[in-house]
Amino acid sequence: MNLFLLILGLTVLVLSGDWLVRCASSLAIRASIPPVIVGLTIVSIGTSAPEVIASVRAALEGNPGIAIGNVIGSNIANLALILGVAALVHPIVVTRSILRADWPVLMVASLLFAGFAWDGQLESWEGGVLCTGTVAMLIMLYYRTRQSQNEDTSLEEEMGIEPPLDKPLIWLFGGIIVASIGLYYGSEWFIEGARELALQAGVSDHIIGLTVVAFGTSVPELVASVAAVLKRESDLVLGNLIGSNIFNIFLAIGVSSSIIDLPVDSLAISQDFWWMLAIAALVFPMMLHRRLVHRWKGVVLVGIYCAYIALVVSNL
């Protein structure tokens, strides 16, 4: 029953997040808001909705291990498992902006996250600092797009904006309301299932957050990345994955720890943060080498993820 509740909650959470992005984006474009602004705000933040909602809910319900483990595990899965699998399907093209801007921001965000957690607790002021990182990231993206010479269709595709839904306004408003309700109940079922699963298995909520919850909330990125490489749009994969990791830290952890102080599991400090930082650092020379993430690099990344999960399981 707990597993069913977990899967049901995850399904509702992911579908609701996707539907909220599509309806809100369509409504914004219908209101004559430039597509690039829609991409920078609604799409960028909306695609992190499963991680944000799940982490905030876990924190408020007294399961900080799930909140922190979810983000650490998702960030590891994004750059090791998902990028690795995508590279196995087709080599990933690395753009100059990823090397010069996106990866450095990811490392700064990751180091801030680890540094704040190092004393065993994330305090509300530290969460506030991380939240301001979201604003700084959006401003940086905005000015980058302003400097771009091609801000039309190519930019819309880069930001992941789907064509506007051809539906009446009342239908779009209704879709946003239904999606929001879905996010609320989906997160409740998902966290409840994860919590009960942890109790039943006799493991900490941090371990469940690192594995089951982290993989579950990374499913949208996995599906989107594989779909992109199959359509030979591999150059979008890295940007989406790195962007997702940045918003996971700035939004999911920032908002959660702003609301309530989050105690950090000692295992996260001694082990998991090091893996998260090491994998993020390792990706840079992989991207720099011929500016391609080759298939053999994908094998290495997937192997690293398997080694990490084996280590986590050994701690049970």
202 sits in the region (left: phi over 0; alpha: psi -120 to 50; else beta) called left
Question: In the prediction, which pLDDT does 283 show?
Answer: 97
pLDDT range class, residue 161, cuts 50, 70, 90: low
CA 19-46-64 angle, 5° bins: 115
Total domains in the chain come to 1
Question: In the prediction, which pLDDT does 236 show?
Answer: 72
- Is 156's pLDDT higher than 60? no
Domain that holds residue 123: 2-314
DSSP 40: I
Identify the residue with better confidence: 186 or 91: 91
% of the chain beyond a pLDDT of 90: 38
DSSP 122: E
Question: In the prediction, which pLDDT does 295 show?
Answer: 96
% of the chain beyond a pLDDT of 70: 87
pLDDT range class, residue 235, cuts 50, 70, 90: low
Roughly what angle, to the nearest 10 degrees, separates helices 169-201 and 64-76? 100
> Among 228, 269, 263, 251, which Cα is nearest to 114's?
269
| Token code pair at residue 116 | 């704040």
User: CATH number of the domain that 189 lies in?
Assistant: 1.20.1420.30
